[in-house]
Copies of this chain bind each other. A is one copy, B any other.
Protein backbone atom coordinates (compact mmCIF):
# COMPACT_ATOMS: atom_id res chain seq x y z
CA UNK A 1 0.00 0.00 0.00
CA UNK A 2 1.50 3.36 -0.97
CA UNK A 3 1.41 6.64 1.00
CA UNK A 4 -1.66 7.87 -0.83
CA UNK A 5 -3.51 4.67 -0.08
CA UNK A 6 -2.66 4.98 3.61
CA UNK A 7 -3.91 8.56 3.80
CA UNK A 8 -7.12 7.52 2.09
CA UNK A 9 -7.72 4.69 4.56
CA UNK A 10 -7.73 1.85 2.08
CA UNK A 11 -9.58 -1.20 3.34
CA UNK A 12 -8.57 -4.79 2.76
CA UNK A 13 -10.33 -6.16 -0.36
CA UNK A 14 -10.06 -2.73 -1.99
CA UNK A 15 -8.14 -1.98 -5.18
CA UNK A 16 -7.64 1.15 -7.25
CA UNK A 17 -8.18 1.07 -10.97
CA UNK A 18 -6.87 3.54 -13.55
CA UNK A 19 -9.80 4.90 -15.58
CA UNK A 20 -7.47 5.73 -18.51
CA UNK A 21 -9.02 9.16 -18.94
CA UNK A 22 -7.59 12.42 -17.55
CA UNK A 23 -5.45 10.37 -15.15
CA UNK A 24 -8.47 9.44 -13.04
CA UNK A 25 -8.44 6.54 -10.59
CA UNK A 26 -11.26 4.77 -8.78
CA UNK A 27 -11.36 2.67 -5.60
CA UNK A 28 -13.35 -0.55 -5.84
CA UNK A 29 -14.01 -3.33 -3.35
CA UNK A 30 -13.66 -6.81 -4.78
CA UNK A 31 -16.42 -8.13 -2.51
CA UNK A 32 -18.94 -5.53 -3.70
CA UNK A 33 -20.32 -4.57 -7.06
CA UNK A 34 -17.60 -3.22 -9.36
CA UNK A 35 -18.42 -0.79 -12.15
CA UNK A 36 -18.90 -2.29 -15.55
CA UNK A 37 -19.34 -1.32 -19.14
CA UNK A 38 -22.83 0.06 -18.46
CA UNK A 39 -21.35 3.06 -16.60
CA UNK A 40 -19.04 3.76 -19.53
CA UNK A 41 -21.85 3.45 -22.07
CA UNK A 42 -24.16 5.69 -20.04
CA UNK A 43 -21.49 8.40 -19.62
CA UNK A 44 -20.92 8.35 -23.36
CA UNK A 45 -24.66 8.46 -24.18
CA UNK A 46 -25.37 11.34 -21.77
CA UNK A 47 -24.83 14.41 -23.97
CA UNK A 48 -24.56 16.74 -20.96
CA UNK A 49 -23.45 20.31 -21.61
CA UNK A 50 -20.34 21.89 -20.08
CA UNK A 51 -21.02 23.67 -16.76
CA UNK A 52 -24.23 21.68 -16.16
CA UNK A 53 -25.56 20.81 -12.72
CA UNK A 54 -25.97 17.04 -12.58
CA UNK A 55 -27.19 14.34 -10.16
CA UNK A 56 -26.26 10.63 -10.36
CA UNK A 57 -28.88 8.52 -8.57
CA UNK A 58 -27.37 5.40 -6.97
CA UNK A 59 -23.78 6.36 -7.71
CA UNK A 60 -22.13 3.26 -6.19
CA UNK A 61 -18.35 3.59 -6.54
CA UNK A 62 -18.77 7.10 -8.01
CA UNK A 63 -17.73 5.91 -11.45
CA UNK A 64 -20.37 7.90 -13.38
CA UNK A 65 -19.58 11.29 -11.77
CA UNK A 66 -15.88 10.66 -12.49
CA UNK A 67 -16.45 9.72 -16.13
CA UNK A 68 -18.89 12.61 -16.66
CA UNK A 69 -16.40 15.04 -15.18
CA UNK A 70 -13.69 13.70 -17.51
CA UNK A 71 -15.87 13.74 -20.64
CA UNK A 72 -18.31 16.61 -20.14
CA UNK A 73 -16.89 19.04 -17.58
CA UNK A 74 -20.12 19.70 -15.67
CA UNK A 75 -19.84 22.40 -12.99
CA UNK A 76 -21.05 20.01 -10.28
CA UNK A 77 -22.16 16.39 -10.00
CA UNK A 78 -23.93 15.07 -6.91
CA UNK A 79 -23.66 11.32 -6.45
CA UNK A 80 -26.44 9.90 -4.25
CA UNK A 81 -25.68 6.58 -2.55
CA UNK A 82 -27.81 4.98 0.17
CA UNK A 83 -25.20 2.47 1.40
CA UNK A 84 -22.92 4.16 3.93
CA UNK A 85 -19.80 2.05 3.29
CA UNK A 86 -20.14 2.35 -0.48
CA UNK A 87 -20.66 6.12 -0.25
CA UNK A 88 -17.56 6.41 1.98
CA UNK A 89 -15.47 4.53 -0.56
CA UNK A 90 -16.80 6.73 -3.41
CA UNK A 91 -15.88 9.84 -1.38
CA UNK A 92 -12.32 8.54 -1.03
CA UNK A 93 -12.16 8.02 -4.81
CA UNK A 94 -13.15 11.66 -5.33
CA UNK A 95 -10.48 12.77 -2.84
CA UNK A 96 -7.93 10.53 -4.54
CA UNK A 97 -8.56 12.49 -7.73
CA UNK A 98 -8.70 15.88 -5.99
CA UNK A 99 -12.19 16.51 -7.36
CA UNK A 100 -14.02 17.31 -4.12
CA UNK A 101 -15.07 20.72 -5.51
CA UNK A 102 -16.70 19.23 -8.62
CA UNK A 103 -18.13 15.97 -7.30
CA UNK A 104 -20.10 15.67 -4.05
CA UNK A 105 -20.99 12.20 -2.81
CA UNK A 106 -24.04 12.23 -0.52
CA UNK A 107 -24.92 9.25 1.63
CA UNK A 108 -28.67 9.68 1.28
CA UNK A 109 -31.89 7.93 0.32
CA UNK A 110 -33.08 9.19 -3.07
CA UNK A 111 -36.63 9.26 -1.72
CA UNK A 112 -35.60 11.73 1.00
CA UNK A 113 -33.81 14.47 -0.94
CA UNK A 114 -36.16 17.28 0.11
CA UNK A 115 -33.93 19.84 1.83
CA UNK A 116 -30.81 17.98 0.62
CA UNK A 117 -30.89 19.02 -3.06
CA UNK A 118 -32.96 21.78 -4.66
CA UNK A 119 -35.88 20.41 -6.67
CA UNK A 120 -36.61 21.69 -10.21
CA UNK A 121 -33.05 22.99 -10.51
CA UNK A 122 -30.84 20.37 -12.23
CA UNK A 123 -29.84 20.27 -15.90
CA UNK A 124 -29.40 16.52 -15.97
CA UNK A 125 -30.00 13.38 -13.92
CA UNK A 126 -28.16 10.16 -14.79
CA UNK A 127 -28.74 6.71 -13.36
CA UNK A 128 -27.59 3.15 -13.72
CA UNK A 129 -30.11 1.65 -11.33
CA UNK A 130 -30.18 -1.92 -10.05
CA UNK A 131 -31.76 -4.18 -12.62
CA UNK A 132 -33.52 -7.13 -11.14
CA UNK A 133 -36.84 -6.67 -9.37
CA UNK A 134 -36.91 -7.55 -5.69
CA UNK A 135 -39.62 -10.12 -6.28
CA UNK A 136 -37.79 -11.95 -9.08
CA UNK A 137 -34.41 -13.39 -9.91
CA UNK A 138 -31.75 -14.71 -7.59
CA UNK A 139 -30.79 -12.22 -4.90
CA UNK A 140 -27.13 -12.37 -3.92
CA UNK A 141 -27.15 -12.84 -0.16
CA UNK A 142 -24.01 -10.73 0.43
CA UNK A 143 -25.37 -7.40 1.69
CA UNK A 144 -23.86 -4.60 -0.40
CA UNK A 145 -23.62 -6.59 -3.59
CA UNK A 146 -27.26 -7.60 -3.34
CA UNK A 147 -28.31 -4.01 -2.68
CA UNK A 148 -26.54 -2.70 -5.76
CA UNK A 149 -27.64 -5.38 -8.13
CA UNK A 150 -31.25 -5.72 -7.09
CA UNK A 151 -34.16 -3.46 -6.56
CA UNK A 152 -34.31 -3.87 -2.82
CA UNK A 153 -33.91 -0.32 -1.60
CA UNK A 154 -35.46 1.36 -4.61
CA UNK A 155 -37.41 0.52 -7.69
CA UNK A 156 -37.61 1.87 -11.19
CA UNK A 157 -40.51 4.12 -10.26
CA UNK A 158 -38.56 5.72 -7.37
CA UNK A 159 -35.65 6.56 -9.69
CA UNK A 160 -37.90 8.12 -12.32
CA UNK A 161 -40.03 9.99 -9.78
CA UNK A 162 -36.91 11.40 -8.08
CA UNK A 163 -35.32 12.43 -11.39
CA UNK A 164 -38.53 14.25 -12.36
CA UNK A 165 -38.47 16.19 -9.08
CA UNK A 166 -34.80 17.22 -9.38
CA UNK A 167 -34.81 18.31 -13.02
CA UNK A 168 -35.68 21.79 -14.18
CA UNK A 169 -38.00 22.27 -17.16
CA UNK A 170 -36.48 20.67 -20.29
CA UNK A 171 -33.75 19.10 -18.14
CA UNK A 172 -32.49 15.70 -19.36
CA UNK A 173 -32.73 12.27 -17.80
CA UNK A 174 -30.36 9.49 -18.89
CA UNK A 175 -30.67 5.87 -17.86
CA UNK A 176 -29.23 2.49 -18.79
CA UNK A 177 -31.50 -0.45 -18.09
CA UNK A 178 -32.67 -3.81 -19.41
CA UNK A 179 -34.78 -4.05 -22.58
CA UNK A 180 -37.31 -6.40 -20.98
CA UNK A 181 -38.39 -3.46 -18.77
CA UNK A 182 -38.84 -1.08 -21.73
CA UNK A 183 -42.63 -0.86 -21.46
CA UNK A 184 -42.42 -0.08 -17.73
CA UNK A 185 -39.66 2.45 -18.40
CA UNK A 186 -41.58 4.28 -21.12
CA UNK A 187 -44.90 4.20 -19.26
CA UNK A 188 -43.32 5.49 -16.00
CA UNK A 189 -41.23 8.15 -17.76
CA UNK A 190 -44.33 9.50 -19.48
CA UNK A 191 -46.33 9.29 -16.25
CA UNK A 192 -43.75 11.47 -14.46
CA UNK A 193 -43.43 13.87 -17.46
CA UNK A 194 -39.94 12.74 -18.48
CA UNK A 195 -40.88 12.22 -22.13
CA UNK A 196 -38.62 9.60 -23.78
CA UNK A 197 -36.80 11.35 -26.65
CA UNK A 198 -33.89 9.08 -27.58
CA UNK A 199 -33.23 5.36 -27.25
CA UNK A 200 -30.33 3.08 -28.18
CA UNK A 201 -30.34 -0.69 -27.86
CA UNK A 202 -27.10 -2.50 -27.06
CA UNK A 203 -26.56 -5.99 -28.45
CA UNK A 204 -23.66 -8.30 -27.55
CA UNK A 205 -23.19 -9.26 -31.20
CA UNK A 206 -24.85 -8.94 -34.62
CA UNK A 207 -27.97 -11.10 -34.85
CA UNK A 208 -28.36 -11.28 -31.04
CA UNK A 209 -31.06 -9.73 -28.86
CA UNK A 210 -30.17 -6.55 -26.97
CA UNK A 211 -29.22 -6.92 -23.30
CA UNK A 212 -29.07 -3.22 -22.41
CA UNK A 213 -30.95 -0.09 -23.42
CA UNK A 214 -29.90 3.55 -23.15
CA UNK A 215 -32.74 6.02 -22.85
CA UNK A 216 -32.92 9.81 -22.69
CA UNK A 217 -35.98 11.69 -21.50
CA UNK A 218 -36.71 15.41 -21.38
CA UNK A 219 -38.82 16.90 -18.60
CA UNK A 220 -42.03 18.24 -20.18
CA UNK A 221 -40.68 17.41 -23.65
CA UNK A 222 -42.95 16.82 -26.65
CA UNK A 223 -43.73 13.22 -27.61
CA UNK A 224 -41.48 11.98 -30.40
CA UNK A 225 -38.88 9.29 -29.91
CA UNK A 226 -35.69 8.96 -31.93
CA UNK A 227 -34.41 5.38 -32.03
CA UNK A 228 -30.69 5.28 -32.74
CA UNK A 229 -28.88 2.56 -34.73
CA UNK A 230 -28.06 -0.45 -32.53
CA UNK A 231 -24.74 -0.61 -30.71
CA UNK A 232 -22.84 -3.91 -30.86
CA UNK A 233 -20.31 -4.78 -28.18
CA UNK A 234 -18.36 -7.55 -29.90
CA UNK A 235 -17.38 -8.10 -33.51
CA UNK A 236 -16.70 -11.77 -32.96
CA UNK A 237 -16.60 -13.96 -29.89
CA UNK A 238 -14.42 -11.66 -27.79
CA UNK A 239 -13.25 -8.83 -30.01
CA UNK A 240 -14.72 -5.40 -29.21
CA UNK A 241 -16.30 -3.45 -32.08
CA UNK A 242 -14.86 -0.18 -33.35
CA UNK A 243 -17.81 1.65 -31.73
CA UNK A 244 -16.82 0.32 -28.30
CA UNK A 245 -13.17 1.31 -28.78
CA UNK A 246 -14.40 4.81 -29.72
CA UNK A 247 -16.59 5.05 -26.61
CA UNK A 248 -13.59 4.07 -24.48
CA UNK A 249 -11.52 6.70 -26.33
CA UNK A 250 -9.12 4.10 -27.72
CA UNK A 251 -8.00 3.12 -31.21
CA UNK A 252 -8.92 -0.35 -32.36
CA UNK A 253 -5.66 -2.23 -32.82
Residue of B nearest to A224 (CB): B180
Contacts of A230 in B (CB 8 A): 201, 203, 230
Chain copies in the assembly? Answer: 2
B227:A182 contact, CB within 8 angstroms: yes
Interface 1/0 per residue, A203-236 and B, CB below 8 Å: 1001111100100000000011111111000000
B201:A183 contact, CB within 8 angstroms: no
Interface 1/0 per residue, A226-248 and B, CB below 8 Å: 11111000000000000000000
Bound-state CA distance A106–B214 (Å) is: 43
- A190 nearest CB across to chain B (Å): 6
Overall SS of chain A's interface:
mixed
Bound-state CA distance A228–B208 (Å) is: 8
Residue of B nearest to A185 (CB): B186
Query: A196 and B225 in contact (CB under 8 A), knowing A201-B201, A230-B230?
Result: no
Cβ-defined partner of A183 (8 Å) among B196, B203, B213: B196
A184 in the interface (beta carbon within 8 A)? yes
Contacts of A226 in B (CB 8 A): 179-180, 209
Bound-state CA distance A230–B200 (Å) is: 12
- A142 nearest CB across to chain B (Å): 27
B187:A225 contact, CB within 8 angstroms: no
- A6 nearest CB across to chain B (Å): 48
A225:B190 contact, CB within 8 angstroms: no
A203:B229 contact, CB within 8 angstroms: yes
A195 in the interface (beta carbon within 8 A)? yes
Contacts of A181 in B (CB 8 A): 225
| 9 A-B residue pairings within 8 Å (CB atoms) | A179-B226, A180-B227, A183-B186, A186-B187, A187-B187, A187-B190, A201-B227, A210-B227, A210-B229
